[in-house]
């Protein structure tokens, strides 16, 4: 197995890839090989992930300060402010993503962005009540993952991750990654037990894993109470 790339290499990867990645997953897709076509067609789980994320957050963000890790171009900033958040800070270590985010949403009141590696963030660095990330855990080093969880301590949090499974979509995703991502930099997969064990080491109390068929092999790690999760499932 190739060693995990250095932060500078990974930042360069995302500087080259992130804006195209967001466009292809969330907006108008571009199919550049058979795996990318299959990856797009399998249940649209990334768009469902974003919708379910907002379903979780909207009832809980009124008058709250939000921190998004791995924010990319910050496409959720305006929606969260519109639905009651008082401020939004988006952090990403891709300078091209942060520049795009500032161009698109930096003019909005209460919205700001910063280019920084999540491993370097300190809990006191930003004022926030709610913290979330979409897809960041899958691409994080061990130090970065530990700090994502540390930053979540004492906050309302919601983080997506990809599960280990024999799901056909996960198998396609794995082969798509092998074809398209080089230098040993590929997304990681976790079992529920593995991700909960990492939470216990922080510790993070009252943590739950939320699964939904619309997420395919994805899941959310959250401390949102089960009654709300059940309400979302039934709704």
pLDDT for 121-180, tens place per residue?
999 999 999 999 999 999 999 999 999 999 999 999 999 999 987 766 655 656 566 656
Distance CA 103, CA 91 (A): 15
pLDDT of residue 31: 47
Convert the pLDDT of each residue in 86-119 to its tens digit.
Answer: 999 999 999 999 999 999 999 999 999 999 999 9
Helix axes 95-105, 7-26, angle to 10 degrees: 40
The answer to whether residues 209 and 221 touch, using CB atoms and an 8 Å cutoff, is yes
Average confidence score pLDDT of the chain: 83
Specify the pairing of strand 65-69 against strand 111-115: unpaired
Convert the pLDDT of each residue in 13-52 to its tens digit.
Answer: 778 877 776 766 665 554 445 555 555 544 477 788 899 9
User: Could you tell me the pLDDT band of residue 233, with boundaries at 50, 70 and 90?
Assistant: very low
The answer to whether residues 158 and 210 touch, using CB atoms and an 8 Å cutoff, is no
3-state secondary structure of 198: helix
Beta strands in 163-213 (DSSP E): 208-210
| CA angle at 163 for the pair 218 and 216, rounded to the nearest 5° | 35
Choosing among 3.40.50.970, 3.40.50.180, 3.40.50.150, 3.65.10.10, the CATH entry for 46-167+190-234 is 3.40.50.150
pLDDT of residue 235: 33
């Amino acid at each position: 197995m190739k060693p995990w790339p250095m932060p500078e290499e990974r930042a360069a990867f995302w500087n080259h890839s992130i804006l195209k990645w967001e466009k292809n997953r969330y907006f108008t897709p571009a199919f550049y090989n058979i795996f990318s076509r299959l990856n797009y067609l399998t249940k649209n789980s990334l768009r469902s992930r974003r919708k379910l994320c907002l379903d979780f957050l909207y009832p809980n963000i009124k008058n709250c300060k939000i921190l998004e890790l791995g924010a990319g171009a910050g496409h959720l900033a305006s929606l969260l402010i519109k639905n009651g958040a008082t401020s939004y800070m988006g952090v990403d270590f891709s300078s091209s993503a942060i520049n795009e985010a500032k161009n698109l949403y930096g003019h909005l009141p209460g919205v700001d962005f910063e280019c920084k590696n999540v491993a370097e963030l300190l809990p006191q660095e930003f004022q926030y009540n709610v913290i979330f990330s979409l897809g960041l855990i899958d691409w994080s080093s061990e130090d970065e993952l530990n700090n994502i969880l540390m930053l979540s301590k004492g906050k309302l949090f919601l983080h997506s991750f990809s599960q280990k499974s024999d799901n056909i979509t996960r198998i396609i995703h794995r082969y798509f990654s092998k074809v398209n991502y080089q230098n040993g930099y590929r997304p990681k997969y976790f079992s529920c037990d593995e991700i909960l064990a990492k939470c216990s080491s922080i510790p993070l109390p009252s943590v739950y894993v939320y699964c939904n068929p619309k997420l395919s092999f994805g899941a959310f790690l959250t401390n949102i109470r089960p009654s709300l999760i059940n309400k979302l499932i039934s709704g």
